[in-house]
Chain A
């Protein structure tokens, strides 16, 4: 299967696919751009499955999850040494002034990825019952604005969910936990380019 092949190739470290462009970046900046791009490629490869437009394959999802886990946490943060911002990098300076939040999101990616690996066997919830996210927000009515501040507060995207909690979700729900972490970090710490 093509998807599985791509993911395997990436995991095996043949990052040649991503060698292009990046605005002429070199060294560690280029390395992290490559790592990010490769995660993007894996996301792209499994997205059709998650959308239900390609056949679901739990093994591919597990490989993808392992790939994200491998690139999360410290593996990610050590590619952002202080002073490595500025053109052509899109990293915001706030990474270094708010390192704790940045590192927290990098770690959260690992938690979500491990959760996804467990959730892979749960299969998709699909569109019909795809209201999971809204359930979780509205459970008990008051959660959204009231005491549910755990959900709305600093932790952004279900920030404090555990591997077990994410692992209990349908695979597409767990996948969204991964991607929402990508997006949360980009929202906070990546400059807009396009």
Chain B
């Protein structure tokens, strides 16, 4: 059974015999250098859609934009989103666009270390070179904040990053955001945002005990293990239909935060709308709703 195999393999990550070999095991793949000129406005849009701003800005404590410090409680310890400002020492001011590309699309640091998947990089793998160039241009406009990132507080052995290499081997999957032939441009645009940048499945798909999404069996069936212990309801098309959602009121909800019964979203979903989808264009919100309300299980 593939699932069992994955679990066993994942568990082995933390038992670990051949640690030495693991530490040296190269991950990721080299990309051609990015030489495209970026458009900061487009990049800012993508940063909204992708939740970069929401997750790397400590709004609750009145933190500076993208200076990090947002606490993400996981069953394995606590992570803090790092400083992404242009500060050369504490932020990413001394990075190159190619290092940035590798971090965002592949989840690998400039030193070659794997990132924790609480950073939603698995959803960004299909970002084009132009997307990356645009994001990079937008990040260049962020004022430097000379504050160190808060160190993570992960429990042993999860604080050993080499373990994440096994996690990647077992669980890292392609985002469901590439176009599916036979569907129109609006549907495919919806899929691109929902399955990619907006990472809806990060909260709406259940996870196994090692924090990997159960995409094959539980896609959009809801989750009871959000960071911090929250839960998110199912948003597969059948459940949405049953609960009174339509293309119109779903697109509307992504702008207004209002559910079909007139109540307003709270919790994590309130933030998704407040810091993310309300800034998107009406066309993009509609495309997301069209895709979500359609039977997209085949793709």
B264 touches A183 (CB 8 A): yes
Residues on A lying within 8 angstroms of B by beta carbon are: 39-45, 47, 50-53, 127-128, 130-131, 133-134, 137-138, 141-142, 144-147, 149, 152-154, 156-157, 175-176, 179-180, 182-184, 186-187, 190-192, 194
Decide yes or no: A144 and B282 within 8 Å by CB, A42-B262, A183-B274 being known contacts.
no
Which one of B142, B266, B279, B281 has the greatest number of beta carbons of chain A within 10 Å?
B266
Given contacts A142-B40, A176-B255, contact A127 B286 (CB under 8 A): yes
What are 29 A-B pairs at a CB distance below 8 A? A47-B249, A51-B248, A53-B248, A130-B281, A130-B283, A131-B281, A133-B280, A134-B281, A137-B48, A138-B41, A141-B41, A141-B141, A144-B47, A144-B141, A145-B53, A145-B139, A145-B141, A145-B143, A156-B274, A175-B256, A176-B255, A179-B264, A180-B256, A183-B266, A183-B270, A187-B267, A187-B274, A191-B266, A192-B266
Q: Which of B18-26, B62-70, B155-163, B167-175 contacts A (4 or more CB under 8 A)?
A: B62-70
The digit string for B137-168, where 1 denotes a CB below 8 A from any CB of A, is 01101110000000000000000000000000
What are the residues of chain A within 8 A of B271 when measuring CB–CB?
187
Complex CA distance for A130 and B283, rounded to whole angstroms: 8
B3 to chain A, nearest CB (A): 29
Please indicate the chain A residues that have their CB under 8 angstroms from the CB of B258 in the complex: 43, 47, 179, 182-183
B side interface size, CB within 8 A: 47
Q: Return the chain A residue nearest B86 by Cβ.
A: A145
B44 CB-CB contact with A under 8 Å: yes
Interchain nearest-CB distance for B151 vs A (Å): 24
B→A interface (CB under 8 Å): 40-41, 44-45, 47-48, 53, 57, 59, 62, 64-66, 138-139, 141-143, 230-231, 233, 248-249, 252, 255-258, 260-267, 270-271, 273-274, 278-283, 286
Write out the residue numbers on chain A whose beta carbons fall within 8 Å of the beta carbon of B41: 138, 141
B230 touches A146 (CB 8 A): no
Within the complex, what minimum Cβ distance (angstroms) separates B260 from chain A?
A: 8
On whether A187 and B265 interact (CB within 8 A), knowing A47-B252, A131-B281, A152-B65, the answer reads yes
Cα distance, A89 to B142, chains bound together (Å): 41
Nearest-neighbour CB distance to chain B for A72, whole angstroms, equals 14
Q: Which chain B positions have C-beta within 8 A of A187? A: 265-267, 270-271, 274
Contact yes or no, B266 A44, CB < 8 A: no
For A147, what are the chain B residues with a Cβ–Cβ distance below 8 Å? 143
**Given the complex, which residues of B lie within 8 Å of A51, measured CB to CB?**
248-249, 252
Partner of B47, one of A145, A149, A175: A145
Q: How far is the CA of A134 from the CA of B48 in the complex (A)?
A: 10
Residues of A within 8 A of B64 (CB): 149
State whether B59 touches A194 (Cβ < 8 A).
Answer: no
Report chain B residues within 8 Å CB of A190.
266
Docked-complex contact B262 and A152, CB < 8 angstroms:
no
Closest B residue to A128 by CB, please name it.
B282
Chain A residues with CB below 8 A from B267, complex form? 186-187, 192
B265 and A154 contact, CB distance less than 8 A:
no
